[in-house]
C-alpha cells in the first residue's frame, strides 16, 4: 500500500493547496526528478556520445542509463530497443513515416484513439492510398477482440491501438489483439501514454512490435518520450530524420546507418529531459506500479460511485472499476464542460481538463458529445479527502442550478 502522505511530500507544488486532477494531460514532478535535472546542468552539462572528456563521459553514461531504465520499466530485452523521442506522438509518427507503405495496405485502428494515433493514419491514407479500418467499442468504451478478428486480414500491415483510453480510462485487451494481428502477418503498435504511468507493462508478455509513452504523464519532464521497437523490427522502420550521430560511416559518396537507438536519435537529444525521465522511472519503480494501480482504482471507484449519486451528473466509461484506470469523464446537465472546469478551479482550486481531450471521433461519433466532457484523472499523490472535496463541489454546482 502506498504511503500517500510521504509521496505528497516529494511534490513541492502541492504545498500551494491545489487539488490536481489533470494527470491524464500531464502529471506533477517530484523533487527527486527536478534535482536530477539540476544536477546535470550544474555538474556535468555537456553533449553526449563521442566526447572523451569527463563531463561528456558522465553525461553519456547517464543518458544511456536512462535508456536502460526505460527498458527495465517495460521489460524490453535491451536498450537498443529503446528510442528517445520528444513524446508519444513523435514515436507514433516515427513508425508511421518509417514503414514502407504500398497502395492497398491496410491499417486497423479504433474510434477510441487519441488524435496522435488516429489522424496520422488518415494522412497515410491520403499519401499512399492505404486503407484505414476503424474498430468501434461498445457504449462503455470496451473493445472486443472479436472486432479485430473481423477487421484484420492478409492485407493488414499494422494494427494501431491504445492501451488505455485517454478519455474513458478503459483498458484494452492488447495481448489478445496482438495475437490476432500477428496471426494475419500484421505488426502492432500500442499507444501506452495512459498505461505506462499507471499499470505494470511487459512488452514481451503483450508481444507487441511497437510501444510508445511520454515522460510528462509519468512524473518526468516535458519534451521526452519513449518508442520501443522490438529488436526484429528495427530494420523495418527507416529513420525519417538522419544526420549527426545516426551514421556509423560516411563519405562524399554515401553513408551507413549506425545501430539502434542512435540511428533514430538524430542530432543532439534532449539530454536533461532523458536523465529526468530516468529519475522518474526510478521513482515509480521504487514506489511500485502494482501499488499505484491499486491506489488509483480505489480512488476511481469512489469518484465514479460518488458522481453517479449526484443528480444531473452523467459519467462515461466502464462501470467496473477493474476495467479502467483513474480517468473519469463526466458532464453536469445544463453546464458547458469548460464552465464546470473553470468553476472547480476558481471556487475550490481543483484542476481538471475539459473539452474533446484530443479525441473528437470518440467524443462525437460514439458518445454524441458536441461540447466534449469534463475529465478528472487521478494519480499516486491524490487522496480520498481530495475526492470528497471534489464530489462536494460538484454537488454544490448541481444544487445551485436547480
Active site residues: 358
Longest dimension (CA), the chain: 76
In whole angstroms, give the CA distance from residue 49 to residue 64: 9
CB 164 within 8 A of CB 327: yes
Cell of residue 24, nine digits: 491524464
Q: How many other CB atoms sit within 10 Å of the CB of residue 401?
A: 12
Cell of residue 224, nine digits: 521526452
Match 472546469 to its residue by C-alpha cell.
Answer: 341
Match 510508445 to its residue by C-alpha cell.
Answer: 212
In whole angstroms, give the CA distance from residue 87 to residue 226: 7
DSSP, collapsed to helix, strand or coil, labels residue 252 as coil
In whole angstroms, give the CA distance from residue 77 to residue 79: 7
Match 547517464 to its residue by C-alpha cell.
Answer: 62
CB 70 within 8 A of CB 208: no
Peptide bond into 81 cis (omega under 30): no
CB 31 within 8 A of CB 49: no
Strands 373-377 and 353-355: antiparallel
In whole angstroms, give the CA distance from residue 183 to residue 336: 45
Amino acid at each position: 500500500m502506498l504511503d500517500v502522505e510521504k509521496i505528497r511530500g516529494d511534490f513541492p507544488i502541492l504545498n500551494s493547496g491545489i487539488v490536481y486532477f489533470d494527470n491524464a494531460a500531464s502529471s506533477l514532478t517530484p523533487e527527486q526528478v527536478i534535482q536530477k535535472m539540476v544536477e546535470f546542468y550544474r555538474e556535468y552539462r555537456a553533449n553526449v556520445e563521442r566526447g572523451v572528456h569527463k563531463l561528456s563521459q558522465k553525461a553519456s553514461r547517464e543518458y544511456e542509463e536512462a535508456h536502460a531504465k526505460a527498458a527495465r520499466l517495460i521489460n524490453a530485452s535491451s536498450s537498443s530497443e529503446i528510442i528517445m523521442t520528444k513524446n508519444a506522438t513523435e514515436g507514433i509518427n516515427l513508425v508511421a513515416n518509417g514503414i514502407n507503405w504500398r497502395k492497398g495496405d491496410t491499417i486497423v485502428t479504433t474510434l477510441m484513439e487519441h488524435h496522435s494515433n488516429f489522424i496520422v493514419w488518415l494522412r497515410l491514407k491520403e499519401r499512399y492510398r492505404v486503407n484505414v479500418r476503424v474498430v468501434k467499442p461498445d457504449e462503455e468504451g470496451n473493445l472486443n477482440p472479436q472486432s479485430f478478428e473481423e477487421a484484420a486480414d492478409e492485407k493488414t500491415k499494422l494494427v494501431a491501438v491504445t492501451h488505455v483510453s485517454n478519455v474513458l480510462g478503459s483498458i484494452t485487451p492488447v495481448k489478445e489483439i496482438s495475437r490476432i494481428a500477428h496471426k494475419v502477418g500484421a505488426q502492432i503498435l500500442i499507444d501506452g501514454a495512459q498505461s505506462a504511468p499507471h499499470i505494470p507493462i511487459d512488452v514481451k508478455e503483450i508481444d507487441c512490435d511497437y510501444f510508445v509513452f511520454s515522460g510528462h504523464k509519468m512524473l518526468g519532464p516535458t519534451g521526452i518520450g519513449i518508442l520501443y521497437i522490438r529488436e526484429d523490427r528495427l530494420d523495418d522502420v527507416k529513420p525519417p530524420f538522419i544526420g549527426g550521430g545516426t551514421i556509423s560511416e560516411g563519405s562524399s559518396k554515401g553513408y551507413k546507418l549506425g545501430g539502434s537507438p542512435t540511428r533514430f536519435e538524430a542530432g543532439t537529444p534532449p539530454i536533461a529531459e532523458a536523465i529526468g525521465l530516468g529519475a522518474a522511472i526510478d521513482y515509480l519503480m521504487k514506489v511500485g506500479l502494482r501499488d499505484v494501480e491499486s491506489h488509483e482504482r480505489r480512488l476511481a471507484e469512489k469518484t465514479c460511485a460518488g458522481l453517479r449519486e449526484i443528480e444531473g451528473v452523467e459519467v462515461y466509461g466502464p462501470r467496473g472499476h477493474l476495467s479502467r484506470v483513474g480517468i473519469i469523464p463526466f458532464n453536469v446537465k445544463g453546464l458547458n464542460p469548460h464552465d464546470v472546469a473553470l468553476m472547480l478551479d476558481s471556487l475550490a482550486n481543483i484542476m481538471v481538463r475539459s473539452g474533446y481531450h484530443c479525441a473528437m471521433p470518440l467524443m462525437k461519433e460514439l458518445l454524441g458529445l458536441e461540447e466534449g466532457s469534463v475529465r478528472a484523472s487521478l494519480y499516486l499523490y491524490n487522496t480520498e479527502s481530495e475526492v470528497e472535496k471534489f464530489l462536494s463541489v460538484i454537488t454544490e454546482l448541481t444544487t445551485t442550478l436547480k
